[in-house]
C-alpha cells in the first residue's frame, strides 16, 4: 500500500492550496465589486454630462444661425463657457474612472500571480513525491502487496495522478496567458491616463482663452452694439485685404499637377478628422463663395461643424510640416493651423484651431489627436477648415520674406510686419477633400 499512500499524500498540498484560494477569494471579490461600483458611477456621470454637452452644442448651432450681434456673440461665448466646463468634468471623470480601472487590473494581476504561484507549488510538490515513489521498484511493490488486485488499484491511482498533472500544466499555461492579457490591458489604460491628463490641461487652457475673449469683446465694444458692428466691419475689411494679398501671391506660383503622384481618389484614402461629421461648406464655388468671399476664387477646402474645444484628429499618418497662427498681424485667414505631409503624396491643413497639440517635424499616426477646434482666424463661427493639397505643390511661406523678395515694403502689410507664415499653393495644387475622405 506504499504507492497509494505516497499518491494520496502528494495530493494533500493541492487540497490545502485550493482551500486557501477559496478562503482568500472573497476579499479580492469585495474589492473588485467596490471598484466596479465606483466605475459604474463615473460612467453614469459621464453620460449625464454628455447629454448636457449635446444641449450646449445645439444651442451654439442655433446661435450661429442667427444674425451676428453683440448679444448673440456674448450668448455664444457664455454657452461655450458652460460647454467647456462640462468637457473638463467629463475628462476628470474619465481620469477617475481610468484610475479605478488600473486599480482593478492591478488586483486581477495580483490574483493571477498568486494563482499561478500556487499551481506551480502544487505541481512541484506532486512531482517531488512522485519521484520518491519511483524509488520503490515494481518487484518491491508486488512483494509488499497482499494481493494483485491492490496493485492494479494503485497503478490506476498512478495514471490518475498523471492526468491531474497534465490538467494542472494546462491550467498554468492558461493562467499565464490571462496574466499577460491583463498586464497588456493595464499598460494601455496607463497610456490612456497620460493622454487624458494632457487633455485636461489643454481643456483648461481653452476655457481660459474663452474667458479672455469675452472680456476682450466687452472691453473693445464697451458693451455697445454699434461698436460691435464696427468691429465686424473692420474684420471683413481685414479679411478682404489679406485675401487679395494671398491671391496675388498664389497666382504667381506655378505648379503642374502630376496625377500619378497622387493616390486614386476614393473613400477611405484619408480618415475623417472628427468623430462626428457634419459638413457645413464643401470645396469649390459654394454659395458663400458666390456671395463674394475668397476673392472670387472659391472655397479651398471643406468646413465641418465643431464647437470650440472639439478634438481634431490627423487624417493620415505623416509628419507635421509646420504650425502657425495667422491672427498675429491681424491676417485672420486660417488662424491657428497645422500642416501635415502624408506618405501618399497628399498634405492636409487644419485651420481655425483653438489649441495646437503637435510640433513641427513630429511624426503622427492616423487618428492621432493633433489639436482642438475653435474660431481663430476669419470664421463666422467655430468650425474646422480642412484643405487637401498635392504635397509637391504646397509650401509654407513667411510673408515678411516674400514682401522683401518681391521688392515691396514689409511695412505695407500687418501680416508681413508680424512675420506671419502661412501655407501657400498654386490653385492647381488644391484638391477636393471629399474625394479622399
| pLDDT exceeds cutoff 70 at 57 | yes
What pLDDT does residue 111 have? 81
DSSP 242-285: HHHHHHHHHHH------GGGSPPP-TTSS--SSSS--EEE-SBS
Residue with the larger pLDDT of the pair 176 and 4: 176
Reference 368, options 301, 230, 227, 271; nearest CA is: 271
pLDDT tens sequence across 369-421? 999 999 999 888 899 999 999 999 999 998 888 877 777 765 667 777 888 89
What percent of the chain is predicted at pLDDT more than 70? 81
Give CA–CA dist 111/27, Å, rounded.
11
Distance (Å, whole) CA 68 – CA 381: 10
pLDDT at site 299: 80
Neighbours of 224 (CB within 10 A): 12
Short-list 326, 280, 324, CA closest to 304: 280
Give residue 296's pLDDT band: very low, low, confident or very high (50, 70, 90): low
Q: What is the DSSP letter of 366?
A: T
Note the pLDDT tens digit of each residue in 86-121: 999 999 999 999 999 999 888 888 887 887 787 778
Q: What contacts 24+ positions apart, CB below 8 Å, involve 140-148?
A: 141/2, 141/3, 144/1, 144/2, 145/1
SS3 of the chain: helix, strand, coil, percent, to 5: 65, 15, 20
Check: CATH 2.70.70.10 for 242-435?
yes
The alpha carbon of 129 is separated from its chain's Cα centroid by a whole number of angstroms, namely: 55
CA dihedral 152, 155, 157, 158 (to 10 degrees): 180
DSSP category for residue 362: -
The residue ranges of every structural domain in the chain are 2-213, 242-435
How would DSSP label each residue in 29-50? HHHHHHHHHHHHHHHHHHHHHH
Q: What is the pLDDT of residues 217-268, one digit of tens each?
A: 999 999 899 999 998 888 888 887 787 778 878 888 888 888 899 999 999 9
Q: What is the pLDDT of residue 19?
A: 41
Grid cell 463615473 in the structure block, residue: 42
pLDDT band at 136 (very low <50, low <70, confident <90, very high): low
**DSSP character for 374?**
B
Mean predicted lDDT score pLDDT of the chain: 83
Query: Who has greater pLDDT, 112 or 47?
Result: 47
pLDDT at residue 152, rounded to an integer: 53
**Which single residue is written with the C-alpha cell 446661435?**
63
Query: Is pLDDT larger for residue 237 or for residue 9?
Result: 237
Where are any strands of DSSP class E within 58-171? none
Note the pLDDT of residue 129: 64
Phi, psi for 228 (deg, rounded to 5): -65, -45
Q: How far apart are the first and last CA of the chain?
A: 78
Amino acid at each position: 500500500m506504499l504507492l497509494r499512500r505516497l499518491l494520496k499524500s502528494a495530493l494533500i498540498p493541492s487540497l490545502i492550496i485550493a482551500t486557501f484560494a477559496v478562503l482568500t477569494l472573497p476579499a479580492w471579490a469585495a474589492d473588485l465589486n467596490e471598484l466596479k461600483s465606483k466605475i459604474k458611477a463615473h460612467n453614469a456621470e459621464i453620460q449625464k454630462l454628455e447629454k448636457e454637452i449635446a444641449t450646449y452644442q445645439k444651442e451654439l448651432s442655433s446661435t450661429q444661425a442667427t444674425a451676428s450681434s453683440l448679444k448673440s456673440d456674448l450668448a455664444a461665448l457664455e454657452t461655450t463657457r458652460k460647454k467647456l466646463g462640462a468637457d473638463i468634468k467629463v475628462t476628470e471623470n474619465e481620469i477617475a474612472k481610468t484610475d479605478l480601472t488600473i486599480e482593478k487590473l492591478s488586483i486581477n494581476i495580483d490574483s493571477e500571480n498568486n494563482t499561478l504561484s500556487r499551481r506551480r507549488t502544487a505541481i512541484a510538490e506532486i512531482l517531488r513525491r512522485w519521484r520518491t515513489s519511483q524509488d520503490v521498484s515494481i518487484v518491491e511493490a508486488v512483494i509488499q502487496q497482499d494481493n494483485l488486485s491492490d496493485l492494479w488499484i494503485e497503478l490506476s491511482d498512478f495514471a490518475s495522478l498523471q492526468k491531474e498533472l497534465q490538467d494542472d500544466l494546462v491550467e498554468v499555461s492558461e493562467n499565464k496567458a490571462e496574466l499577460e492579457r491583463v498586464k497588456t490591458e493595464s499598460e494601455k489604460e496607463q497610456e490612456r491616463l497620460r493622454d487624458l491628463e494632457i487633455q485636461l490641461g489643454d481643456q483648461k487652457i481653452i476655457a481660459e482663452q474663452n474667458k479672455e475673449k469675452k472680456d476682450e469683446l466687452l472691453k473693445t465694444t464697451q458693451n455697445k452694439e454699434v461698436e460691435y458692428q464696427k468691429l465686424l466691419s473692420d474684420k471683413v475689411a481685414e479679411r478682404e485685404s489679406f485675401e487679395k494679398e494671398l491671391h496675388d501671391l498664389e497666382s504667381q506660383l506655378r505648379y503642374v499637377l502630376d496625377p500619378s503622384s497622387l493616390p486614386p481618389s476614393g473613400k477611405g484614402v484619408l480618415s475623417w478628422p472628427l468623430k462626428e461629421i457634419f459638413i457645413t461648406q464643401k470645396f469649390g464655388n459654394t454659395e458663400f463663395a458666390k456671395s463674394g468671399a475668397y476673392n472670387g476664387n472659391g472655397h479651398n477646402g471643406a468646413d465641418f461643424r465643431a464647437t470650440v474645444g472639439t478634438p481634431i484628429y490627423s487624417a493620415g499618418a505623416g509628419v507635421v510640416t509646420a504650425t502657425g497662427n495667422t491672427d498675429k498681424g491681424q491676417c485672420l485667414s486660417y488662424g491657428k493651423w497645422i500642416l501635415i505631409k502624408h506618405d501618399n503624396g497628399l498634405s492636409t491643413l487644419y485651420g481655425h484651431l483653438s489649441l495646437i497639440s503637435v510640433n513641427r517635424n513630429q511624426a503622427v499616426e492616423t487618428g492621432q489627436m493633433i489639436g482642438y477646434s475653435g474660431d481663430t482666424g476669419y470664421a463666422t463661427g467655430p468650425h474646422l477648415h480642412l484643405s487637401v493639397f498635392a504635397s509637391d505643390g504646397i509650401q509654407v511661406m513667411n510673408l515678411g520674406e516674400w514682401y522683401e523678395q518681391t521688392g515691396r515694403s514689409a511695412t505695407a502689410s500687418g501680416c508681413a510686419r508680424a512675420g506671419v507664415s502661412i501655407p501657400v499653393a498654386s490653385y492647381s495644387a488644391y484638391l477636393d477633400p471629399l474625394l479622399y475622405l
